[in-house]
Amino acid sequence: MSGAEAQPTRSRRLVSPSPEETHRLGVKLGQLLQPGDFVGLIGDLGAGKTHLVRGVAEGAGVAQSEVASPTFAIVYPYEGRIPLYHADLYRLTDYDELYATGFLDLVGGEHAMLVEWLDRIPQAAPRDFLRVTLRHEGEDARSLDVEAFGARPVALLDAWLG
């Protein structure tokens, strides 16, 4: 069973009042990431995934000039305090197509992973992971529903959001 089929071990909801705060939340998460961490991001276009990803990358020590959308490459590697893989599943249609990209060979390695559009192929998530769902809550505000699946993701959630 993949993590996407399980019930979360712990969850937390918060509201970010601005894109800048969403970015700051990402920086804090990026500072806490360890090799093997998997963070899945869900949200409509414009929900704040990019602000969060740029913050996570900054917190992980990745130069801002290196952070780009991997929409056309599917997975983009970044070098920072720890290696960070940033994936975007938007263009993929199913698990078989994801499998053919080699993505699954990257899960659980000596790096952290950020995966946008995880809801398109939820089976891409390992058993233990953190899922962040972003939603519009007005012009600039966004809600973040954060769900931890497994012991390490619970520790990460607690350290990140208290």
Comparing 108-117, 124-133, 151-160, which segment has the lowest mean pLDDT?
108-117
**Each residue's pLDDT tens digit, 5-58:** 578 899 999 999 999 999 999 999 999 999 999 999 999 988 889 899 999 999
CB 142 within 8 A of CB 15: yes
Mean pLDDT, the chain, integer: 90
pLDDT for 1: 39
- Reading phi first (left if > 0) and then psi (alpha if -120 to 50, else beta), residue 79 is in beta
Choice between 92 and 33, residue whose per-residue pLDDT is larger = 33
- What three-state secondary structure class fits 108? coil
Say what the pTM is.
0.90
